Amino acid sequence: MIVPTEWVLMLSAVLFAIGVVGVLVRRNVIVIFMAIELMLNAVNLSFVALARSRGAVDGQVVVFFVMTVAAAEAAVGLAIIIASFRNRTTVNADELALLRG
């Protein structure tokens, strides 16, 4: 089954844009995190589509790595959020603005 590559790329762009909106708009840092994951997945989709169109597996290998790193990042990020929550009992991004100038 052949899927036109441009369509997939467009889907990827849309998902990415939705992810961006999520990062900018939501106040709950966990949800922000999830939006970031969404963006990463959109990129993964692009890679897979282009790998398919080229017929090379390299793109899939990259996706492999992206997933791995995303896992590591999620683990550490959530640990940070938990640690921060202990001090300030908030996950509201607006309230976590200590580095204000």
Partner 1 sequence: MPEAHAAAEAVIIHSQVLWLIPFFPLLGFLIAVAAVNAPNIVKITSPLAVLASFLVALASVVTVAGAPEGARLAQTLYTWMAAGPFHADIAFRIDALSAVMVLIVTGVGFLIHVYSVGYMGHDESCSRFFAYLNLFMFAMLLLVLGDNLLVLFVGWEGVGLCSYLLIGFWYAEDANAAAGKKAFIVNRVGDMGFVLGLFLLTWSLAPAAGGTLSLDFAHIQAHAASLAPATATAIALLLLVGAAGKSAQLPLYVWLPDAMAGPTPVSALIHAATMVTAGIYMIARLNVVFALSPTAMQVVAVLGALTALFAATIALVQTDIKKVLAYSTVSQLGFMVLALGVGAFATAIFHVMTHAFFKALLFLGAGSVIHGMSGEQDVQKMGGLRTKMPITFWTFLIGTLAIAGAPGLAGFFSKDEILWHTWSSGHTVLWLIATITATLTAFYMFRLLFLTFFGEIRADHDVAHHVHESPPVMTIPLGVLALLSMVGGWVGLPHHWLWGNPLGEFLAPVTGHPHAAEHGVLGEGALMLIATVLAIAGATVAYVFYIRMPGLPMVLSWRLRRVYELLLDKYRIDELYNAIIVAPYVRLSTFLWKIVDQELIDGFVNGLAGAVGANGRLWRQAQTGNVQHYALAFLGGVVLVLAYYVMR
Partner 2 sequence: MGMGAALFLVLAVLTVVSALGVVLHPNPVKSALALIVTLFLLAVVFVLLEAHMIAALQIIVYAGAIMVLFLFVIMLLNLQSEDPERGRRRFVLRGLAWAGGVLLAVELALLTRGAPVGRPGAAPEGYGTAQSVAQSLFTDFLLPFELTSILLLVAVVGAVVLAQKQRRPTIS
Find which of partner 2, partner 1, none residue 93 binds, CB within 5 to 8 Å per kind. Answer: partner 1
Q: CB pairs under 8 A, 24+ apart, for 45-48?
A: 45/8, 45/11, 45/12, 45/15, 46/8, 46/9, 46/12
30 forms part of the interface with partner 2 (CB under 8 A): yes
36 forms part of the interface with partner 2 (CB under 8 A): no
**What CA–CA distance (Å, rounded) separates 76 from 64?**
19
Give the binding site for partner 1 (CB under 8 A): 20, 23-25, 32, 93-94, 96-101
Find which of partner 1, partner 2, none residue 98 binds, CB within 5 to 8 Å per kind. Answer: partner 1
Question: Which lies closer to partner 1 via its Cβ, residue 38 or residue 52?
Answer: 38
